[in-house]
Structure 1
Amino acid sequence: MKHASTICLLLLLLVTGCAGHQEYQGHFHHMDKKERSYKESDIRFTTNEIDIAAIGDLLIHERVYNDAWNGEKYDFLSMINPVQDYLKTPDITMANQETIMGGEEIGLSDYPQFNSPFDLGDDLQEAGVDIVTMANNHTLDRGEEAIRNAIAYYEEIDMPYTGSFKSEEDQQTLRVLETEEGISVAFLSYTYGTNGIPIPDGKEYLVNLIDHEQIKKDVSEAEELAEVTIVSYHFGQEYQRLPNQEQKDLAQFAADLGVHVVIGHHPHVLQPIDWLEGKDGNKTLVAYSLGNFLSGQYELYRRIGGILQFSISKDGSNVKVHSPSFLPTFVQFDLIDETITDLQVLPLKDVSEQQLPDASDHLSEIKEHLSKNIEDLEFIE
């Protein structure tokens, strides 16, 4: 819908005036969200709204890609199929690609130095994922070659990525995804480290490390290019269900910079969601850890992840993040002689007592755990 108001024209001029910065333009396959208009003081305003979703770690162990092999290709799509609609419906869906997608040509591999097949990228895109974050402790597992292979394939299938880059110029090109609703979103991604694997000298662009000055600079540039900034942190302590002080401090640092949403990964278990107030009074939505979305880990809480969804509305120059909601998920599989078969990611609400004893009690506990800090967290039914 087009609007001929002077205010919209001024906004357009402000946006195009930022053309001096490098910006990545994304493309989408589901653009059918709502647009509302109202009249105030004889001036026509438009309130646009989009939904964004985020999922946790894609931790592709050997037992996962072995189960995905169907004799012709690695079929991850059938594993994700039960929750695919929840990934496709939002305007933008982001995922954390924990295991580098270097492809079969350099040999697939498991923990502690992962490498995943290209089929994973195709299937994530088909399932509804629009952008992947690559900055994590496993980014350098298989060296520079795996990173370049992954990026080349993401570029081949037109999948935006952030957090790991092929060059300094690529690193300096902020990922800003435009939606048809007129709301632009910048995505930034950083990790606490790379498991002791050194970044090659002069190639710091291969992975973004958590550095306050770099984050401050990136957020400042993102504010010039986009209306919404989302920061992904790979941080925290593995398997701890509550955020540590470092996580809280880094999230508050982002809030004080004016970041709209912080998405956390690495602990491999769900941690509570929260609202933080920035120094200028702004509100920042924080998911300290979204747990594992797809993995081969056995322990109960490492099999429970989920899909975080939230809305962003734009009313004139006012942009607001609101209405966070969550769908808890469960990685269901059969285990025969330590071999995983028939793996699927299921909504936890649909898991049977046979698949998970006391499933309804676990769902209730997860809901209480996630919403302990906020009252406005809804759960997707």
Structure 2
Amino acid sequence: MKKYRKILSLLLVFLMAFSLSSCKKQDGKSNISSDISVSNKEVKKENDKNKGIIKIDKKRPKKFDEKSKDEIINIKAGGDLMAHMDQVDYARNYGNGKYDFSNQFEYVKDFLKDSDLTIGNFETSVSKTREPSGYPQFTTPKEYIRDIKDAGFDMLSTANNHSVDSFEEGIFDTIDAMDEYGIAHAGTRKPGEDRFIYRNVKGLKVSFMSYTYGVNGLDSLVTENKPEDVINYLEPEKIKADIKEAKKNKADLIIVYPHWGVEYQSYPTDDQIKLGRDMIDWGADLVIGNHPHVTQPAERYKSKDGKEGYIAYSCGNFIACQSYDVLGDIRTEQSVLYDINILRNNKTGKIKLGDVKIHPIWNGHMRDENGYLAKDFMIEDFLEGGKYYDKVNETQRERIRKCDEMIIKTVNTKVE
């Protein structure tokens, strides 16, 4: 028995030695240990960069660019999410006394959800004590934020001219509601909080910033704090400093949402163009503007250091009750959802701007048993061959065709 045990032990030693030697390169270094070492370094580097950063994970499978084979991180960026009283009243009736805004987003939610990050501009306010109200000072039930989140939005800009509509406490009530429903936000903040945020999106450290030209002269309603301590204003030097700080903190992607320009003007002002390009020169990657309530041109812009960024000067109303029938201007029914691919090189980890597609949106309006409904229609789905072609009548379809032509022409207008 001892003899057999001795033979068995020698055999095991021989097999172990053979196994270890077969794992070595010609230089004597182990393939396995080398691969593990590199892998651990990469994981540690990513973990260190994103340490403490909240992760946005929509469980979307990895996708790769057909030509470069780089990984695609998809971002969808949209415009103003308004809440006029007709929308609020409709939501209450549609929900049988409980606010339900989901019908607004029925035709776009699947597309909004099919991204790694979807962003919009929340252009109203929430209050725990005030009754709902519409123009000129918007106060909206917090369920609106819930349904915006359920529609597929992950991140919202909160710095705009309606940030203080529900007074100072409304700034904080809005923040609390967004936190409650798990939606990221930047632009307004509680005292002592950071001016902008970071999120981990598919391993990218994304920095999101938001700024407004003003708050409709309601700064005096901020009484317990200085307005600039809870609202980000559109001040170039502060924006430049924020971008510099984000770069210092190794942000991979910097997204800026400025609230700027002139309402109902389809071409950006000289100040918009200069500041938009300056922000790319300072290090921002995407600049997605809003406020005019109509669409404006967009451009790929190469910075002074050769990096390419993207500027959308105004996305228009993503959802609102500013219809042609009310205002006599069909442009307020038009919006753009930008479908932006960011490419990450699998070997170097470096990122660059990939394809950008525009998806025209018709903000349609109609009456039914619940009241006056504002509803988003992604135009490609309602034209010939679209999956919802039969959901609209010919009068609506003609309006949709007209909007499609106008949006494409406006967005593709060259910015001088």
Q: TM-score, normalised by structure 2?
A: 0.79
Equivalences for residues 1-381 of structure 1 within 5 A: 4=35, 24-34=53-63, 47-69=70-92, 70=94, 71-103=96-128, 105-168=129-192, 170-172=193-195, 174-179=196-201, 181-198=202-219, 199-200=222-223, 201-223=225-247, 224-299=249-324, 300-315=330-345, 316-334=348-366, 341-349=372-380, 350=382, 352-355=393-396, 357-373=398-414
SS at match of 1:305: strand
Instruction: Point out 4+ residue stretches in structure 1 off by more than 6 angstroms.
Output: 5-8
Contact 2:123/2:160 (<8 A) preserved: yes
Note the C-alpha offset of 1:46. 8.4
**1:42 counterpart residue number:** none
Bigger drift between 77-86 and 262-271 goes to 77-86
For the structure 1 residues 144 and 280, does the alpha-carbon distance in structure 2 shift closer, same or farther, using more than 3 Å as the test? same
Question: Larger strand proportion, structure 1 or 2?
Answer: 1
- How many residues are paired up? 358
Note the C-alpha offset of 1:36. 7.8
Contact 1:269/1:305 (<8 A) preserved: yes
- What amino acid is aligned across from residue 60 of structure 1 in structure 2? A
- What amino acid is aligned across from residue 375 of structure 2 in structure 1? Q
- What amino acid is aligned across from residue 175 of structure 1 in structure 2? I
Question: Larger helix proportion, structure 1 or 2?
Answer: 2
Note the C-alpha offset of 1:17. 5.5
Note the C-alpha offset of 1:149. 1.0
Contact 1:24/1:175 (<8 A) preserved: no
For the structure 1 residues 314 and 369, does the alpha-carbon distance in structure 2 shift closer, same or farther, using more than 3 Å as the test? same
**C-alpha distance in structure 2 between counterparts of 1:231 and 1:291, whole Å:** 16
Note the C-alpha offset of 1:342. 3.5
**C-alpha distance in structure 1 between counterparts of 2:408 and 2:188, whole Å:** 33
Contact 1:139/1:194 (<8 A) preserved: yes
Contact 1:171/1:205 (<8 A) preserved: no
**Cα offsets for 1:309-346 (capped at 9, x unmatched):** 1011111232111111111111222259xx95243211
For the structure 1 residues 361 and 292, does the alpha-carbon distance in structure 2 shift closer, same or farther, using more than 3 Å as the test? closer
For the structure 1 residues 4 and 62, does the alpha-carbon distance in structure 2 shift closer, same or farther, using more than 3 Å as the test? farther
Contact 1:312/1:320 (<8 A) preserved: yes
**C-alpha distance in structure 1 between counterparts of 2:293 and 2:230, whole Å:** 23
**Greater C-alpha radius of gyration:** 2
- What amino acid is aligned across from residue 84 of structure 2 in structure 1? H
**C-alpha distance in structure 2 between counterparts of 1:353 and 1:333, whole Å:** 15
For the structure 1 residues 28 and 352, does the alpha-carbon distance in structure 2 shift closer, same or farther, using more than 3 Å as the test? farther
Contact 1:353/1:359 (<8 A) preserved: no
Contact 1:183/1:314 (<8 A) preserved: no
**C-alpha distance in structure 2 between counterparts of 1:167 and 1:95, whole Å:** 24
**Cα offsets for 1:248-276 (capped at 9, x unmatched):** 01101101112110000000001111111
Note the C-alpha offset of 1:24. 4.5
**C-alpha distance in structure 1 between counterparts of 2:332 and 2:344, whole Å:** 36
CA RMSD of aligned residues (A): 2.7
Q: TM-score, normalised by structure 1?
A: 0.86
- What amino acid is aligned across from residue 279 of structure 2 in structure 1? A
For the structure 1 residues 274 and 294, does the alpha-carbon distance in structure 2 shift closer, same or farther, using more than 3 Å as the test? same
**C-alpha distance in structure 1 between counterparts of 2:148 and 2:114, whole Å:** 14
**C-alpha distance in structure 2 between counterparts of 1:35 and 1:15, whole Å:** 20
**C-alpha distance in structure 1 between counterparts of 2:142 and 2:289, whole Å:** 25
Identity of aligned pairs, percent?
28
**C-alpha distance in structure 2 between counterparts of 1:18 and 1:177, whole Å:** 11
Note the C-alpha offset of 1:74. 1.7
Note the C-alpha offset of 1:202. 3.2
For the structure 1 residues 5 and 237, does the alpha-carbon distance in structure 2 shift closer, same or farther, using more than 3 Å as the test? farther
Structure 2 unaligned blocks of 5 or more: 1-33, 325-329, 383-391
- What amino acid is aligned across from residue 406 of structure 2 in structure 1? E
